[in-house]
Structure 1
Amino acid sequence: MTGGEYGDGTRSVHAGLPAPEPGQPFLPGPVFAAPYHLDPVTGPARDGYGRPDNPTRRLLEAAIGELEGGEARAFASGQAAITAVLMAVLRPGDTVVLPSDGYYTVRSFAASTLDQLGVRVSYVPTAGPHPSFDGVRLVLLETPANPGLDVCDVAALSVAAHAAGALVAVDNTTATPLGQRPLDLGADFSVASGTKALTGHSDLLLGYAATRDAGLLERVTTWRTQTGGVPGAFDAWLAHRSMATLDLRLARQSANAAAVAMALAARSDVEHVRWPGLPDDPSYVVAERQMRRIPGLVSVDLGSAERVTAFLRASKLVFAATSFGGLHTSADRRAQWGDSTPEGFIRISCGVEDTADLVADITAALDAAA
């Protein structure tokens, strides 16, 4: 315990657990219910129907809220959570600022739905320069950005946005709440995909939005209740169970990313390497000041799609797969999904394999693909 607060490992293990009760499990099993029994006289109490509320989901939300430092609402996916924040806050005629290098589905949603609703959309690179926020209703930051891993100064941008009357939401997917706490840095929302490193087992879809503002929380909750984008009880239980090992998983993933990034940076046949923990990375200074730990993602350009294919075929430990943050190391060539990246650009998501084994495998695969 430091300064009256438990460490990350302790907090991850105990987050959201109910008070100990003899004869009961540490984490109760999922409650599968659509309707619940109602009192014939008074009607619904806390649980009446599964869409607005579920006891398994409440425990998960308590756990996420403890780690983020706010009140959380869980959603069926990260995209559902971001959509909820956008739609709960924005109205026709409003302006929203989005990262031009962030998650491409958010940009696609903005270019279609938000534009049709009369919301003005402005795109700014994560690394800036950032314009004046005068007249802006919401600023959405994604830091570190996916997939390029640029980092922006959340505290400074929050001050600037609030001075102009704008709200700030931070996509915290890449960092997780153990790597970065946007609400502590001044953001109004922390929003993320729990599909990725938060739960880390590549076996569920989940999203969440967290805030300290009761009014904003009510608006997001109302949007979720009325649109129905809730996670199932079993997914919520799986997520809560998986979060207990978050600190352990992140420690190994970050260590692996550091070793992989240094090994790649030392090669003359690798065109470009990004990891905010490298001292010569453009985002290093901000990341070191702002982040509690650097995530297990490394971005690298191998020059061509053909070399990426040869590398993945030669590797025994790196799986070709999208998403990130799981136990197994994977690589995703982003251009194949229509993302605006070079053909040879891949995002490597470092898993929890032994560091020496992973570096040796990647080195051998690159040699074979030369």
Structure 2
Amino acid sequence: MDGLYGDSTRSVKAVGSEPVPGNPVVAPPVIASTFHLSPDEAQPLDKYGRYSNPTWRQLESALAELEGAAAALVFGSGMAAITSVLRVLAKPGTKLVVPADGYNQVRRYAKEYLASQGVTVVEAESAGMCAAASDADVVLAETPANPGLDVVDLHRLAMDCRRRGSTLVVDNTTATPFGQQPLSLGADLVVASATKALSGHSDLIAGYVAGSHPELMAAVEQERLLAGAILGPFEAWLVLRSLGSAGLRFDRQCQNAQALAVMLRAHPAVRWVRYPGLPDDPSHQVAAQQMKRFGGLVAIELTDADAVHALVDRSALLVASTSFGGIHTSVDRRIRWGDPVSDGFARIALGIEDTDDLISDFERALQ
């Protein structure tokens, strides 16, 4: 695809169909578990719904295009994508580095399952990821990290992994391919939850893996087949449909996040703010080098839990919910889910509301 196109144009083109007269502009979903077989027993492209599906292929082609990958594979959830990759790469006797400040369920899986299988699991915060990778076999980085929004220097980390001969996997959920492209910075694989900003309507769960190493992608595809961690064809079609507006939605979410972070940084009720787009954020310099947009999440600390609850109660626009990337702006007090954060920590996931309305609403709610 032409590199001169903007992200919204890339989104629209990625989900388009071939212009065959009489065919629908938007391809309908193929909802089937069983396909006709050839009488001579030659293997057709589609034979059974756990192996393949035409709607999968269209979505995978679009995701690969957006991530700058040779191929992509869709899964039933972001965790299904991540754990499938880890099962392929983290064999007994290997050393695996996972984010200490990233999504907590990944750490839990590594400690409770992989460690018991003979994998040495090391947890490293974003700032220490490069040091931890110096003697690792597999490195999983999440950047910006969820929920604290620290940033890993992906180019430096990729170079360190290449010298070691280790495999670098990057969770691109927070940034999305509209914010950064880890494969272009040297990552071997990208994993992500498409539940968030890419589908963007808080109504489905999906994940994917993208990469350009044929043998590695084939191994992940085989793991998906055998483990059965597949995405339903209707859900795949919903993600595909949503991708067409994803670039536009994510742009508004980032715009809202930047404006809100600036306002909250100056507000006396807010102890501190983390957002990579702020010029004085500890991660801004690295983020500015590798990110096109800084994402739709803002992390803040208020006085305590009551202050977070009061913020939501006094607001006319905020929704108390977990997950992120939807059209509604939401607030999530992450300590309730086991993240190592303070009692007054809140992750704000920006939606697509008008920026001025959001700023005014936060100012009223914080008074």
For normalisation by structure 2, the TM-score amounts to 0.97
Residues 31-46 of structure 1 aligned to structure 2 (within 5 Å): 31-46=30-45
**1:120-169 deviations in whole A, cap 9, x for unaligned?**
00111112263253442111110000000001110110000110111100
Query: Retained in 2: the 8 A contact 1:193–1:206?
Result: yes
Query: Retained in 1: the 8 A contact 2:127–2:152?
Result: yes
Work out the CA distance in 2 between the residues paired with 1:203 and 1:172.
20
Note the residue ranges of structure 1 that are not aligned, 5 or more in a row.
none
Amino acid at match of 2:232: G
Q: Which residue of 1 aligns with 2:47?
A: 48
Q: 1:96 to 1:343 in 2, by over 3 A?
A: same
Q: 1:355 to 1:134 in 2, by over 3 A?
A: closer
Work out the CA distance in 2 between the residues paired with 1:262 and 1:63.
34
Query: Retained in 2: the 8 A contact 1:34–1:51?
Result: yes
Residues 139-154 of structure 1 aligned to structure 2 (within 5 Å): 139-154=139-154
**Residue 42 (structure 1) shift:** 2.5
**1:198-239 deviations in whole A, cap 9, x for unaligned?**
111111100000011001000100000000111101100000
Q: Which residue of 1 aligns with 2:80?
A: 80
Give the SS at the match of 2:298.
Answer: strand
Instruction: Confirm whether residue 63 of structure 1 aligns to residue 62 of structure 2.
Output: yes
Tell me how many residue pairs correspond in the alignment: 366
Query: Retained in 2: the 8 A contact 1:134–1:165?
Result: no
Q: Which residue of 1 aligns with 2:327?
A: 327
Amino acid at match of 2:43: P
Q: Which residue of 1 aligns with 2:316?
A: 316
Give the SS at the match of 1:313.
Answer: helix
Query: Retained in 1: the 8 A contact 2:74–2:208?
Result: yes
Work out the CA distance in 1 between the residues paired with 2:352 and 2:148.
22
Residues 290-301 of structure 1 aligned to structure 2 (within 5 Å): 290-301=290-301
**1:333-354 deviations in whole A, cap 9, x for unaligned?**
0011111111111100110101
Runs of 4+ with >6 A deviation: none
Decide which structure has greater helix share: 2
Give the SS at the match of 2:226.
Answer: helix
For normalisation by structure 1, the TM-score amounts to 0.97
Query: Retained in 2: the 8 A contact 1:16–1:61?
Result: no
Work out the CA distance in 1 between the residues paired with 2:17 and 2:86.
32
Residues 272-351 of structure 1 aligned to structure 2 (within 5 Å): 272-351=272-351
Query: Retained in 2: the 8 A contact 1:18–1:26?
Result: yes
Q: Which residue of 1 aligns with 2:218?
A: 218
Query: Retained in 1: the 8 A contact 2:329–2:351?
Result: yes
Q: Which residue of 2 aligns with 1:257?
A: 257
Moved more, 130-139 or 150-159: 130-139
Work out the CA distance in 1 between the residues paired with 2:15 and 2:306.
47
Give the SS at the match of 1:130.
Answer: helix
Work out the CA distance in 2 between the residues paired with 1:242 and 1:291.
23
Amino acid at match of 1:228: G
Work out the CA distance in 2 between the residues paired with 1:135 and 1:279.
33
**1:238-267 deviations in whole A, cap 9, x for unaligned?**
000101111111111111111111111011
**1:168-206 deviations in whole A, cap 9, x for unaligned?**
000000000011000000000011000001111111100
Amino acid at match of 1:133: A
Work out the CA distance in 2 between the residues paired with 1:154 and 1:14.
28
Query: Retained in 1: the 8 A contact 2:129–2:152?
Result: no
Q: 1:326 to 1:312 in 2, by over 3 A?
A: same
Instruction: Confirm whether residue 355 of structure 1 aligns to residue 355 of structure 2.
Output: yes
Query: Retained in 1: the 8 A contact 2:124–2:132?
Result: no
Identity %: 49
Q: 1:75 to 1:223 in 2, by over 3 A?
A: same
Give the SS at the match of 2:182.
Answer: coil
Instruction: Confirm whether residue 194 of structure 1 aligns to residue 194 of structure 2.
Output: yes
**Residue 23 (structure 1) shift:** 1.5
Q: Which residue of 2 aligns with 1:25?
A: 24
Note the residue ranges of structure 2 that are not aligned, 5 or more in a row.
none
Query: Retained in 2: the 8 A contact 1:17–1:59?
Result: no
Work out the CA distance in 2 between the residues paired with 1:72 and 1:319.
33
